[in-house]
Structure 1
Amino acid sequence: MSVWDDLVGQGPVVEQLSSAAEGTSGLAHAWLFTGPPGSGRVTAARSFAAALQCEETPRGCGHCASCHQVLQGTHADVAVVRPQGLSFGVGEARELVLSSASRPTGGRWQIVLFEEAERATERAANALLKAIEEPAPQTIWLLCTPSPEDLLVTIRSRCRQVMLRTPPTAAISEFLVQRDGVDRETAEVVARASQGHISRARSLATDAEEWRRRGAVVEIPRRLTGVASAVVAAEKLYQAVKAEAKARTTELDEAETSELRHALGENAKGRMPRGTVGALKDLEKRQKSRATRSERDAFDRRLLDLASYYRDVLRLQLGAGNDLFNVDLEPELRTAARNGRPEDTVRRLNAIMQCRERVAANVHPQIAFESLTLALRTG
């Protein structure tokens, strides 16, 4: 066992980070972890943080107290920054810069692990720049983004880059079998359906509801028989995704609100002391921002599921159908490929990508979905 066990199909990255943790290849004060969604950017950064704090030799043993604490997110000298809303503001950035200058309380380093650093606003990024340029002697920054271009050039030029790739399907399948006890046939199917996204593969393998949601999306193409069916399909998709996103945030929102009300002195009758309204409104604002982000992420996840269907159709039309995402739908996909033209499939894929852009640009999702399903029907 080691801290690197959860990094799937990333041999060169493990070698690079192991050498740095051991001190054999030099240790930079700022690192930028990039790679496509699901490749394991945050996993790699967290594993590296554990190796840096490890008490044993070689670094990254996976069983000492420091390794365990970092991997569990409880190490006092590893600050994990996980933006909850749509963006990370300048006020939060200044607080982070201040805390990053602290000396380690017990570990070897003071480490800041910033997940989804691309969510930092321009002002926030500029506030972080100075600390990354001239960090405290024992401070190390670990930034995670999908692409280097997601950060200011002045920040990324001061970071050593770690580039992860999309894990091979076989590696994901083997991981599910070995780590989660998934039967091999199921592991192979969900590894393909996940499109190289490790956590998505685990969810599809272990959560029957998530598999059902994915199934409801990839059956949309066969239901688009007319204008009315296209509008109905858009409505069902919109409502289903909203319900999915709400389910992901409601329980957390309720727990946070209850905890804050208790901390502020709520009495037995549910009344709050004077002067606490502002704190509750601030929490509500953060929760709304998180809910909006959760919805957008859910919408995007389902659109990518839908895109996987047409990518498979296009592969078959071009004679490259040996590595389908949706192997469970192969007979249907082959029929769709025979009955259509590659240029129509490309237009459908472009329509899905355009819908993703519209939702990200704050177009009402239901309107964007209706436009999409109508475009998919006509090709």
Structure 2
Amino acid sequence: MRRVTSRGLAVALTGVLCVGGGAMVGSAVVVASGIMLVTVVALAALWVVVAMVNVDVRREVSPRVFTVGDSAQVTLDVWAQTTGGRQRRVRAAAWHDPVSAPLVGEGRGELGVASIDSYGSEVPQGYVVGAARRGRGTLGPLRVTVTDPFGLVQRTRTCGQSTSVTVLPAIYTLDAGQAAASGGESAVTRRGMLMQHGADSPIPRPYAPGDSLRRVHWRATARHGEMMVRQEEQHDATHTQVVVDVALRRWLVGPTAKNHAELMDDAVTACASVTMHLADQGHRVVVLDSTGAQWGTVAGLDGRHDLLEKLAAVAPQQTQQTLVLERGSALLTVIIAGNVEASTIDDWARALGSSVVLLAQRLTPAVHAHARSYGWRAAPLTHDPAAAWQQAHSGEGSDETGGAATRV
């Protein structure tokens, strides 16, 4: 794409005025000066066509996936290609690598004055991107702009492809000393009780692609002469479930779209933090949304990255579906919701019992007290999931906040 700069427009307009004015007063010198100015702009336009070279780019992002609050280094290897086997000089060549939300960064620079031969020369460039919100953003494609020596005309060429970058939600460290469930044993304790009361021991089976190496049964491997892994599904029949309400109508509290996006970010951050906290305590955690769609399962270190990748792209949905919950085999249910009413809590309590932790964006004192009357732990959901988790387990009122958070 070629365009005349403001300076070029001024020069061209001055030339046209000189030609017209000189013709009116009969001054050949003024007319010649005007023609010269217009010619200079035309030559500048021709210059940028000749000076522009074919540019190829390789973009490296390290890391391609990072967490909110962290950053990534972007390195651009730029080749300016020429033809004909002769040297050419590129002057005033600037590059711009567009950065889309949620990524934040300034991808701009100068290629400088470079001597380019028929083999091309590699010019490494780089910049840093960060993110204050989760999501998937793109970098590029690269734009290279060549300007003539007088700054009258510019030509821009788009080069290469774009690169996708994923920003994972932040994970806050929750208080490990707090009970995970209302009056229930931890997953580790329950598994130990099952073993003591004669539950089947892990049964080794042949290794299958996708099995974690942490489940390798080395004694059975040595005995059978092939890789064997522990079959532990019998001890994972029970689990903890984390449910996130994704209905837009229950999150759209503020007057602008930005508010509901921020509220959903709070919900996703809380989901990630609570899930990793419970997994660290030995729970097998099943994460699903209010429509019943399962986002992932986390057990120990397994499934964590896949879940965080899923959470990076979660968005509210236009649905009128009521949030219907079922306990199933879950020992504990953690609900992360928007606007919650007392009648909704009554319906949930009949299905879930008392082993519930509720984090809601709108939780009035009356609704908070109603939830606690069922033995639930409840607290308002804020930007700080650690404070909300602490408040839910401390029994404080819904208009109070907890302590400080630690993000990992």
TM range (shorter): under 0.3
TM-score, normalisation: structure 1: 0.24
If each structure's helix is expressed as a fraction of its own residues, which one has the higher value? 1
Which of structures 1 and 2 has the bigger CA Rg? 2
Q: Relative contact order, CA 8 A, sep 6+: which one is greater?
A: 1
Q: TM-score, structure 2 length as denominator?
A: 0.22
